[in-house]
Chain A
Amino acid sequence: MHLLICGGTGCSASKSQEIADNLKITLKDKGLENEVQVILTGCFGFCEKGPIVKIMPDNTFYTEVKPEDAREIIEEHVIKGRKVTRLLYSDPENDQRVADSKHMGFYKKQMRIALRNCGFIDPQNIEEYIGEDGYAALAKCLGEMTPEQVINEIKLSGLRGRGGGGFPTGLKWEIASKNHADQKYVVCNADEGDPGAFMDRSILEGDPHSVLEAMTINGYAIGATKGLIYIRAEYPLAIQRLLTAIDQSREYGLLGEDILGSGFNFDIELRYGAGAFVCGEETALIHSMEGKRGEPTFKPPFPAQSGYNNKPTNVNNVETYANVPIIINKGAAWFSSIGTEKSKGTKVFALAGQINNVGLIEVPMGITLREVIYEIGGGIKGGKEFKAVQTGGPSGGCLTKKHLDTPIDYDNLIAAGSMMGSGGMVVMDETSCMVAIAKFYLEFTVEESCGKCSPCRIGNKRLYEILEKITKGNGTMEDLDNLRNLAGVIKDTALCGLGQTSPNPVLSTIDNFYDEYVEHIKDKKCRAGVCKSLMRYIIDPEQCVGCTACARNCPVNAIKGEKKLPHLINQELCIKCGACIERCKFGAISIQ
């Protein structure tokens, strides 16, 4: 028998170590220390109800356990085999106590569809994929369905593009299928560029065959015989696994000519990108594949009409493709039963930032931020206060406390001034300065702008300069109006989707954290202590003993003072490096 105690950060803070110790002591008292083992585990993710104690093998799940409950758990549960009812999880919906953790709602918070094989099969072995129903969807399409039926199934499923925009996938396929040409192309967009996002890389590295299978299905549906995967060269392992997977598929006759005896031919090649963010935009991606500069062009014509080599081309994102085989296998009705009215299925998020369980998660559409952060993510690091979540990367915005209970789907995120994006989710606590965050994303956009259209090339640079001015303490209230106006112009006039969404980080932080902007401008204060120019290091003359440690370690000699007399920091010379505060043994230096 095993007693599992959560040793995650949240539960440790509420004395899980002490519970473990008490359990061990009690077991020893009863002479059971060799029969029953006490184990500290990683975070269960359910920190709201922590500390958690789970009894194996019967899967009993005790919540909010206190150190003094240890004896009762041993005496009642371990020795007499009776569950300690008062410590069982009580289902908020019907107030019933749930004994077996398998029936607890929070296990259903995460549902792995796109990641179904990721972390389970050997990605370099096609047979393992086949053993998990791999290529069955392709066989079904080729053997039992017409291309129209395949498109219809995807349409009915309600699948929308997972790369950011959320365009209905089935509709995209239908448009491409209706444009007739001697050659058509299927392109997989694996140019994942949002800072902090790694969903696509994980899928390609963990389950490359699912993408190959889906692309082949896509080819069959729209009448294309050639597939291309545009992947950034910074993903060497993903590339290597894809190449292995393509080789194996060819060897098994699942790519190439006359696939499964159906007469359908399809093959896939890779195209490498050099890592430009704009190449994630489909027209720029296509130009890059053609060997031209990675710059977007005006739509229409859409790639479905005239794409790669001016032929009809269907571009979908990696995660979108990963959903396709399972939709064919299990049916559109199954898929559309998951999620919200307009956003079906699940979404993979790369959960990062000031959160305990940094990781890759897959959740049904419609889950709330609160559930993601507190029931999957394990809460904010160090028990600090939640401030905001950035979704959608440089094209997205920040969601705040007031959005904690908003169901996450494409439309709700846009309504909240952000967007789904490809699935980066950066959690921030009170130590993040929202003006600096907006500046960070703008800096990224300025760096990555292809320079083709002036709103993006010049406008974003100006936005960045105004933000820089504000964080340096030189902002005026007029700057806020200028930011809003300029952002509006860029949104309306930029050429491609990236330019049009690039002001989102600025707009959403102004909307949600207006006070913070005003503080920076009027009070010259950064409440998070991030904007260095607004910080002042001060020596308290009462506490300073004149040990000279700070003065000796100041790299710019900004601290002056006689030995054994209070010292003084010259604010004009100070570069705010913080060396003095680290050296002071008397706590005499503070930041204001």
Chain B
Amino acid sequence: MTKIKSLADLRAMKQSVQEKLDTRVKGTEEGLVQVKVAMATCGIAAGAKQVMDYMMEETEKRGINAVFTQTGCMGYCHAEPTIEVTRPGEDPVVFGYVDIKKADQIIEKYIKDGELVDGVIPVNYEKIKD
């Protein structure tokens, strides 16, 4: 890795990362599904790691092109483990109380066909924008 030596370097990097993130969020032509798993101490304690492992394995087995990332606390402690799924070109959806069984449903119904399953956590906050 070359070091970031100036503001221009930083901007260039931001630009390239944003493009990468954008393609990830919007999905590529092959329809990349993005899954974020809330993995703070509490999420992990509630089983987020097992769910992530399971989903990574299963999506691969079922031939789904998905990318998994871990992220920090989403704030829904009452509904851990929580995951956020973004289908190509769609708004992200957060699911709560995701155990192995629910993870299976999410893959089969939501990731494959876009059918929601019970346990969606509604967004109830405002994010700051530029």
On whether the two chains bind one another, the answer is yes
Report whether B127 and A112 are in contact in the complex, using a CB–CB cutoff of 8 Å. Answer: yes
Q: CB-CB < 8 A to B41: which residues of A?
A: 201, 205, 235, 237-238
User: Do residues B78 and A358 form an inter-chain contact, with CB atoms below 8 A?
Assistant: yes
Min CB distance B129 to A, Å, is: 10
B4 touches A253 (CB 8 A): yes
- Nearest CB of chain A from residue B34's CB, rounded to whole Å: 11
Contact status A112-B128, CB under 8 Å: yes
Which of A107, A235, A358 is B125 in contact with, Cβ under 8 Å?
Answer: A107
Closest CB of chain A to B39's CB: distance in Å? 8
Q: Tell me, in angstroms, the Cα distance from A294 to B26 when the chains sit together.
A: 51
Query: Is the Cβ of A202 less than 8 Å from the Cβ of B17?
Result: no
Q: List the A side residues contacting B10 at CB < 8 Å.
A: 130, 135-136, 139, 260
Any A CB within 8 A of the CB of B72: yes
Closest approach, in angstroms, between the C-beta of A103 and any C-beta of chain B? 11
Chain B contacts for A4, CB-based, 8 A: 116, 120, 122
* Given A4-B116, A45-B124, A260-B10, residue A206 in contact with residue B77 (CB < 8 A): no
Given contacts A122-B69, A356-B78, A358-B78, whether A44 and B115 have CB atoms under 8 Å apart is: no
Q: When A39-B117, A131-B20, A362-B125 are in contact, do A254 and B77 touch as well, CB less than 8 Å?
A: no
Verify B128–A253 contact, CB threshold 8 A.
Answer: no
- Inter-chain pairs besides A112-B127, A123-B71, A130-B14, 18 sampled, C-beta below 8 Å: A4-B122, A42-B97, A42-B119, A45-B124, A107-B124, A109-B124, A117-B72, A119-B73, A123-B72, A124-B70, A127-B17, A130-B13, A131-B21, A203-B72, A207-B72, A235-B41, A253-B4, A260-B9
Closest to B91 in A: A57
Q: With a CB–CB cut-off of 8 A, which chain B residues contact A201?
A: 40-41
Taking CB atoms and an 8 Å cut-off, the chain B residues in 1-45 that contact chain A are: 1, 3-7, 9-10, 13-14, 17-18, 20-21, 36, 38-42, 44
Instruction: Across the interface, name the chain A residue whose C-beta is closest to B123.
Output: A107
With a 10 A CB-CB cut-off, give which of B20, B42, B70, B122 has the most chain A CB atoms. B122
Interface flags for B95-126 (1: CB within 8 Å of A; 0: not) read: 01100000000000000000111111111111
Nearest 3 interchain pairs by C-beta:
A206-B72, A253-B3, A110-B125
Tally chain B residues at the interface, Cβ within 8 Å.
50
Interface membership of A230, Cβ < 8 A: no
Residues of B close to A117: CB separation below 8 A: 72
Number of A-B contacts (CB under 8 A): 169
Q: What's the minimum C-beta distance from B36 to chain A, rounded to whole angstroms?
A: 8
- Give A290 to B46 CA distance when docked, in angstroms: 37
Q: How far is the CB of B108 from chain A (nearest CB, A)?
A: 14
B64 at the interface (CB under 8 A from A): no
Q: Shortest beta-carbon distance, A243 to chain B, in Å?
A: 15
Q: Is B76 an interface residue, CB under 8 A from the partner?
A: yes
CB of B56 within 8 A of chain A? no
Would A108 and B124 be within 8 Å (CB), given that A253-B3, A359-B76 are in contact? Answer: no
Q: Which of A1-37 contact B (CB under 8 A)?
A: 2, 4, 6-7, 37
Q: Which single member of B21, B44, B72, B118 contacts A119 (CB below 8 Å)?
A: B72
Could you write out 5 A-B pairs with CB less than 8 Å apart? Answer: A42-B120, A127-B20, A130-B10, A237-B41, A361-B75
Q: A40-B118, A127-B13, A260-B7 are in contact. Are A111 and B128 (CB under 8 A)?
A: yes
Given A39-B118, A111-B128, A136-B10, does the pair A131, B75 have CB atoms closer than 8 Å?
no
Interface residues of A in 209-239 (CB under 8 A from B): 235, 237-238
Provided the pairs A122-B71, A205-B73, A260-B5 are in contact, do residues A37 and B14 lie with their beta carbons within 8 angstroms?
Answer: no
How far does the Cβ of B106 sit from chain A's closest Cβ, in whole Å? 12
Interface flag for A116 (CB, 8 Å): yes
A115 x B124 contact (CB < 8 A): no
Supposing A39-B120, A46-B124 touch, asked if A143 and B7 sit within 8 A by C-beta, the answer is: yes
Q: Are B126 and A108 in contact (CB under 8 A)?
A: yes
